[in-house]
Each structure stands twice: as C-alpha cells, then as structure tokens.
Amino acid sequence: MLEVGCGGGAFLHEALKTGCRASAIDHSNDMVRLATQVNSGSIAEGRLKIVAGEADTLPYPDGTFTCAVMTGVLGFLPDALGTFKEISRVLGCRGRFVAYTGSKSTRGTPAAPEPAASRLHFYEDDELEEMARRAGFATAKVEHPSLFEYAEKAGVPQQDLNLFKGTGGSQLLVAYKTRP
C-alpha cells in the first residue's frame, strides 16, 4: 500500500494491523518524523518506509503498489491531476486507489474552517471522477459514506458528533486501473 500525505501516520498504524507492507510520503518533515515515531514497530519489522517528498513527483518505479490511499490531502494539492497521474503510474495494472476528501458543503464548518478553507480546493463528484479517468484509471466513482458510526466508535465527544451526521460532506473516490 502507498499512502500519499500520511500526516502523523494514524491511518498507516491501522492499515498495518492487517499485516500489509506499506510506503508513505509527506512533504512535511515534521509529519514524516511523527509518522515514523507512531509506526516505529512496523519500520523495525521492515514493513514500512516513510519518506519526505511531493505528491506530484513520487519517488517510486512504475507499477510498485497494489493499492494507494490519500485522506484529507486533495484540497491542499496545487496539481491534483498531476498527483493522480503519479499515483496511477506507481500502481500495478490491477491497482486500486481511494481518496477521501471533504465536499464543498464543509467549507467554513469545523471540518474545513476559515481562513484555511478559502485556500483549499473543493471538487464536484464528477470533476473527481473525470480527473481520475484522465489520469489513467479505467473506472472511478465517488461515494458518500457516513462517518457517524466510526466517529462514535472512535470516541469523538458527544457535542461534536453532529458534525458526522449525514453523508453530504464526505467524498470517497474509488478508482481502479482495470475494470474489476
């Protein structure tokens, strides 16, 4: 698995519990340091490598990974299409890619507060699907999963749980290199 924009490494920590091997990249040295601390066990076992770098110039050969994930990163990217093309390039021919992001409806809410929200990129579902197809994915579909159940299970305080109600705020792009 490849994670692009791994931040503090929380997703990696969960994903590695499945026994997979992973690589991760983030352009913040601080985030690379934190993700390295959080996942030191998997790194010591030789199951994880984390490097500093840019999402649109991935330092991996063609066809390296079977799956790729990106959560909460799309909005920050100056060249999202370039990043999608890079992810497509480093995936094998049956590779799959999921990207999670907040929709336009989250702009100005606690999920994407101002003034940061004005600097973020938001996309319509069909823009994301089209971008994935232009990047070389054979199929691409945006889903709108509810995160309420997961937020509750993760112990998000009661007063903040309302943020996770409904499905309009979440966009989960699921794309395959070859039709499944």
CA distance 86 to 135: 8
Q: Is 99 in the site for ligand SAM (CB under 6 A)?
A: no
CA distance 35 to 39: 6
**What does residue 78 show for φ and ψ, rounded to 5 degrees?**
-75, -25
Residue 88's H or E segment, with its range, is helix 80-90
- Binder among 2, 6, 15, 74 for ligand SAM (CB under 6 A): 6
x/- letters, 35..54, toward ligand SAM (CB under 6 A): -------------------x
- Binder among 1, 5, 39, 106 for ligand SAM (CB under 6 A): 5
Burial degree of 68 (CB within 10 A; 0-12, 13-18, 19+): buried
- Binder among 27, 33, 107, 133 for ligand SAM (CB under 6 A): 27
Least gap, CB of 178 to ligand SAM (angstroms): 26
Q: Is 172 in the site for ligand SAM (CB under 6 A)?
A: no
Q: Is 26 in the site for ligand SAM (CB under 6 A)?
A: yes
Q: Nearest-CB residue to ligand SAM?
A: 7
In this complex, which beta carbon is closest to ligand SAM, that of residue 115 or of residue 180? 115
Burial degree of 139 (CB within 10 A; 0-12, 13-18, 19+): middle
**What does residue 130 show for φ and ψ, rounded to 5 degrees?**
-65, -40
- Radius of gyration for the chain, computed over Cα atoms and rounded to the nearest angstrom: 16
How many residues sit close enough to ligand SAM to count as binding (CB under 6 A)? 16
**What part of residues 127-156 is at the interface with ligand SAM (CB under 6 A)?**
none
Enumerate binding residues for ligand SAM (CB under 6 A). 5-7, 10-11, 26-28, 31, 54-55, 71-73, 76-77
